[in-house]
Structure 1
Amino acid sequence: MTCVTNTGSPLKYAQRPIWRVQGEVGVKTSDQVAEEVPIAMLCNDRSYAVMMATPGDLDDFALGFSLTEGLIHHPDQLLDVQTNSYVEGISLSMQVASEAPVNSLSTDDQRLLPGRSGCGICGTRQLEDLVRQPLPVADVRSFSAHALRHALATLNQHQPINDATGSMHAAAWADANGDTQITREDVGRHNALDKLIGALRRKATNPVDGFALISSRASYEMIAKAASAGVSMIAAISAPTALAIDLARGAGICLVGFSQPQRYNIYTYPERLI
């Protein structure tokens, strides 16, 4: 897979002037704020979606989005990605192999998601497209509670953009020892997970050798994306939804919620967290 960037890598956060008020005193200064731009996703010159996302790790985003949205079955089907910046935003022009599933979609079947960064269903045209029942993960393994606690305790150390801006979601992958190996950040929780999945596949990392952490709630679509990538355990900082729990059980995913180093809830497959 080749990526051609025409205009360089945009900054992931920006500076904006503010008045900082404390008590009765106001001071004019500046603040670091997260970047959020429209990113148009094109497959073989056909518009598929426009996502509001942080303009970083776009190679990973293109691959992860293509895999979790079912546009391609395998990374090799993504032949080329060209990144172009415009006044209005960024386009990711993806060339995919002729046998890729996206080429069998009609215009009516395309989701054409307008500006999605938080909602998992905006732009879905048909009811049967709403809930995608993921296939069970092919391989599962158990992890120690110590590894999970270690990964949770050190997660903040791997979120530099959120540390600067305070407004970013993170998706991370930790190995069996709980050491975080890959982290991706984005203003959108779905985007952060897509970027993480893309990074895992680009690095040829076996997802079953570790587990995922997300800084958000665990919605049904986050579980569907994790299942499509072969992740067998996912820990969310916030709560899961009932549908996410049901999908995780059906997909064979150990789902942990309200995750803190010394306190968490295990919603599915508690025997796999030793």
Structure 2
Amino acid sequence: MPCLIARPAPADVRAAVVPADGYAYAELTSLSDTGRAALADEVALAIAYNGLSQAVMMVSPGDLEDFVHGFSLGAGLVESIDDIYDIRLTPHGDAIAAEVQVSSRAFWNLKQQRRQLAGNTGCGLCGVEALDQALPSLPLLPGAALPPASHLFDLRDRIDAAQQIARRSGAVHAALFVDGDGEIRLCREDIGRHNALDKLVGALKRQRLDLREGFAVVTSRCSLELIHKAVRAGLPTLVSLSAPTALTVQWAREHNLNLIHLPHRNAPRVYSPAPQAV
């Protein structure tokens, strides 16, 4: 098996899109005071696999190698991050190109998916493949014990402290991993809630951390797509700071994913597994 080559992002990727002293603003008051503020960064990331263009995403320009790994796995484009051999990032003004080299097996599967989509656009059933992507067949997780309640204590405050980009500029989501000791081990931030979880999954897989000994946290709305990504990554537990949707709870229960909502002022609410009838 070819070895995985992990290259750091080019030094000028962030410099190309981030003003060093922030952005000027004027207050809408009679005094019209002015100042400067840091704002969340955003770039277009074009991803190509073995030279074949696949997607263009708007992302925050940090931890992009983690994002590409997590996105590839979460979207079902690769079965394992070991299918990814190399990632090259090249800045182009306000955009970044990611050239990804994948295994022959992964590339063949990717081309088959594209061929199926292209072959059915005029058949009157063009939404079938889109529905298959929105409601895919997912593996069943083995199931895991719920995390101790103490690991969720004061978690919101600890998350705020871990979000470096949010403290500086706001306007970003975060996905975090809390380890078996209840400590925040990783934090990934992005303008996109899906992107933040992709970055976290990519970091977890690249660092070969044991997912069974901890849980993931998302600061955003917990939608069905985040359940897909968590199950595909093999995360045993997902904690959300925002309430889940009904369909999200249903899918979490069906796939043995522990799903917990952490309200602002109430005790954590376990939606999956389903509570036992009294």
Alignment TM-score, normalising by the size of structure 2: 0.85
Which residue of 1 is the match for residue 139 of structure 2?
Answer: 135
1:244-255 paired onto structure 2 within 5 Å: 244-255=248-259
User: What is the match of residue 188 of structure 2?
Assistant: 184
Find 1:257's aligned residue among 255, 258, 261. 261
Letter in 1 for 2:110: V
Name the counterpart of 1:195: 199
* Corresponding position of 1:18: 25
Q: Deviations over 1:214-239 (max 9, x none)?
A: 11011000011011111111111112
Shift of 1:257: 1.9
CA distance in 2, matches of 1:61, 1:160: 18
Contact 1:37 1:89 in 2 (8 A): yes
Match of 1:231 among 203, 220, 235: 235
What is the aligned partner in structure 1 of residue 58 from structure 2? Answer: 52
Query: CA shift at 1:140, angstroms?
Result: 1.7
The one-letter amino acid of 2:113's match is L
Counterpart code for 2:236? S
Matched, 1:70 2:83: no
Tell me if the contact between 2:143 and 2:257 (Cα under 8 Å) persists in the aligned partners.
Answer: no
Pairwise CA distance, 1:33 = 0.4
The correspondence of residues 1-150 of structure 1 with structure 2, limited to 5 A, is 1-4=4-7, 5-6=9-10, 8-10=12-14, 14=19, 15-21=22-28, 24-100=30-106, 101-109=109-117, 126-150=130-154
Question: CA 1:103/1:206 → structure 2, altered by over 3 Å: closer, same or farther?
Answer: farther
Q: CA deviation at 1:168?
A: 0.7
1:159 is aligned to: 163
Distance (whole Å) between structure 1 residues aligned to residue 232 and residue 12 of structure 2: 31
Distance 1:106 1:180 in 2: 39
Aligned residue in 2 for 1:118: none
Task: Considering fraction of residues, name the structure with more helix.
Answer: 2
Please list the CA deviations of residues 55-97 of structure 1 after superposition, one character each: whole Å capped at 9, or x if unmatched. Answer: 1001101110111111111111101000011025111111100
Summarize the Cα distance change of 1:213–1:124 in structure 2 as closer, same or farther, 3 Å threshold.
farther
2:73/2:81 contact within 8 Å kept: yes
SS in 2 for 1:222: helix
Cα distance in 2 for residues equivalent to 1:215 and 1:177: 20
Measured in 2, the distance between the counterparts of 1:143 and 1:13 equals: 39
CA–CA distance in structure 2, aligned partners of residues 162 and 124 of structure 1: 39
What SS does the corresponding residue of 1:99 show, helix, strand or coil?
helix
Q: How many angstroms does 1:53 deviate by?
A: 0.5
Aligned length: 259
Distance 2:27 2:181 in 1: 42
CA RMSD of aligned residues (A): 2.4
Q: Which blocks of at least 5 consecutive residues in structure 1 are unaligned?
A: 111-122
Q: Which has the larger radius of gyration?
A: 2
Residues in 2 aligned to 1:64 and 1:37: alpha-carbon distance in whole angstroms: 18
- Deviating more after overlay: 40-49 vs 251-260: 251-260
State the secondary structure of the residue aligned to 1:263.
Answer: coil
Please state which structure has a larger fraction of its residues in strand: 1
**Once the two structures are aligned, what percentage of the paired residues are identical?**
31
Give TM-score scaled by structure 1 length.
0.86
CA separation of 1:108 and 1:91: change in aligned 2, threshold 3 A: farther
Q: How far apart are the structure 2 equivalents of 1:159 and 1:208?
A: 24
Which amino acid in the other structure matches residue 271 of structure 2?
Y
Match of 2:212 in 1: 208
